[in-house]
Amino acid sequence: MSDLVEGLLAGSHSALARVITKIENRSPGYREVVSALHEHTGHAEVIGVTGSPGAGKSTLVDKVAAEYRERGKTVGVIAIDPSSPYSGGAVLGDRIRMASNAGDMDVFFRSMSARGSLGGLSTATTDAVTALDAFGKDYVVVETVGAGQNEVDIVRTADTVAVLVPPGSGDDVQMLKAGILEIGDVFVVNKADLDGADRTVQQLREMLQGRGTAGHHGASGAEMADATPEPPGSDAGTETWDPPIVETVANRGEGVDDFLAALADHGAYLDRTGRREQQARDRFAAEIRTLLREDANRLVAGELDRQGGIEGAVDAVMARQTDPYTVVDEVLAPLRECLDERG
């Protein structure tokens, strides 16, 4: 493990690839690797790109990576794809979507499976971002599946969230009301050369005017329920962010500079108001809670198996020999006793 970590920190792309493979597969030792990398993170700008399928996310991400490279920056891209029902791997994992950057070692592209995570992001994705950050990438772009309102999970991973909407798609704009509207820091009407682009921009503008400060940058709403207190001296409560709407034609590279400018403006806002630190605190709080739930579930599942398994418990409940509450109390009793002893 130490050789793998040292290789990644030394700039070995093969070591980086092996680390992310270990993370994605949850191979033995991956936790130790991520733990060792954590102290070397906190430098990359993490950008989330989401939106409805067909909005042109992959094409825009490709152009963004190319432009950052023109500016001398290094880029890591994680493309979250739907999971194969057979292998659990990424169905659309195809590097051809990053054709503009093929052969450029300073653009590291990786397709990862959503693994059934509701928001298109799994815990493995967060760990992969950690690896790319520790490696020294200036920018890490996370492109999500595009599954609608459940994309709010990306809030926990990205500093800035960009939501793409294709023009003339009234249904897509209406879909934004269901929840994804609240997480966007920058909105992009891609394929702006098509009919309906002006109307889509107008619809978005009207919807954003009624949104207030809820969502990703406002630290309110259900998705931010776990938010930690604002850091001392923060101006986060006084200055708000009005999400800009950028028009692009990604396949021709048009509007990419404007998009990057909007991302930079939001990054400056985060630094100026102290929200970047606040977002990091919220992100780590959410990650700790997620890991606690995952590990606690494994412990409980193991104890349930030792007590005869779920089928035996269901049989007893069906026979009215016990009830679900009693089953749960009996399964958790040894864990409670251990925790009480430690307390």
CATH number at residue 209: 3.40.50.300
Q: Check whether residue 198 and residue 224 sit in a common domain.
A: yes
Can you read off the two tokens belonging to residue 145?
A: 């599946």
101 and 79 within one domain = yes
pLDDT at residue 105 in the model: 78
In this predicted structure, the answer to whether residue 29 has a pLDDT above a threshold of 70 is yes
- Shared domain for 194 and 313, answered yes or no, is no
H/E segment holding residue 163: strand 160-165
Strands 139-143 and 245-247: unpaired
Across residues 99-128, what is the average pLDDT? 74
Both 125 and 258 in one domain: the answer is: yes
State the pTM of this model. Answer: 0.84
Would you call 76 helix, strand, or coil by DSSP? strand
**Whether residues 70 and 127 fall in one domain:** yes
The CA distance from 30 to 259, in Å, is: 35
The yes-or-no verdict on residue 300 having pLDDT over 80 is yes
Domain boundary among 223, 239, 273: 273
Nearest to 271 by CA among 304, 320, 310, 236: 236
Q: Which helix (H) or strand (E) holds 187?
A: strand 186-189
pLDDT in tens, 135-187: 999 999 999 877 554 567 777 789 999 999 888 755 556 656 556 778 899 99
For residue 317, being part of any structural domain is answered with yes
What's the whole-number mean pLDDT along residues 100-118? 73
DSSP 42: S
> What is the domain extent for residue 126?
42-273
Asked whether residue 221 falls in the same domain as residue 176, the answer is: yes
Domain count, the chain: 3
Mark whether 194 and 217 lie in a shared domain. Answer: yes
| 132 domain residue, yes or no | yes
Both 257 and 137 in one domain: the answer is yes
**Residue 143 and residue 57 in contact, taking contact as beta carbons nearer than 8 Å:** yes
Q: What is the spatial distance between Cα 191 and Cα 164, in angstroms, rounded to a whole number? A: 10
Q: Do 136 and 75 contact (CB within 8 A), yes or no?
A: no
Q: Are residues 117 and 262 in the same domain?
A: yes
Considering the domain boundaries, does residue 284 fall inside one?
Answer: no
Same domain, residue pair 71 and 3? no
Using CA atoms, how far apart are residues 190 and 60, in angstroms rounded to an integer?
8
Decide if 279 is inside a domain.
no
Structural domain includes residue 283: no
> What is the model's pLDDT at position 183?
85
Mean pLDDT over the full length of the chain: 83
The conformation of residue 322, written as its DSSP 8-state character, comes to: S
Does 193 fall in a domain?
yes
Domain-embedded: residue 278: no
Domain boundary among 273, 300, 321: 273
pLDDT of 308 > 50? The answer is: yes
Instruction: Let me know whether 153 and 220 are in one domain.
Output: yes
If one counts every other C-beta atom within 10 angstroms of the C-beta of residue 105, the result is 9
> Which DSSP symbol is given to 140?
E
